[in-house]
Homo-oligomer: A and B are copies of this chain.
Amino acid sequence: MRHDHVITSKQLSRSDIETVLDRAAEIRDDPTAVADRHAGALLGLLFFEPSTRTKMSFETAMKRLGGDVVDMGSVESSSVKKGETLADTVRVIEGYADALVLRHPKQGAATMASEFVDVPLLNAGDGAGQHPTQTLLDLYTIRENAGLEDLTIGIMGDLKYGRTVHSLAYALSNFDAHQHFISPESLRLPREVVYDLHQEQERAQVREHESLEEILPSLDVLYVTRIQRERFPDETEYQKIAGEYQIGVDTLEAASDDLTVMHPLPRVDEIAPEVDETEHAAYFEQAHNGVPVRMALLDLLLGDEGGEDDE
Contact = CB atoms under 8 A, between A and B. Distances in A.
Interface stretch (A152-160, A183-191, A253-261, A264-272): A264-272
Interface in A113-157: none
Contacts of A83: 266, 268
Q: Can you tell how many copies of this chain the complex includes?
A: 3
Given A64-B42, A266-B83, A268-B82, A72 B95 contact: no
Contact of A68 (B50, B63, B87, B284): B63
B76 A266 contact: no
Contacts of A78: 50, 52
Contact of A79 (B52, B284, B290, B291): B52
A286 B265 CA distance: 41
Interface stretch (A54-62, A168-176, A237-245): A54-62
Nearest to A226: B82
A60 B50 contact: no
A3 interface: no
Interface of A: 32, 35, 40, 42, 44, 47, 50-53, 55-57, 59-60, 63-64, 66, 68, 70-74, 76-84, 87-89, 91-93, 95-97, 226, 265-268, 273, 284, 287-288, 290-291
Complex A-B, nearest 5 residue pairs according to Cβ-Cβ distance, in ascending order: A95-B288, A84-B266, A60-B96, A79-B266, A52-B79
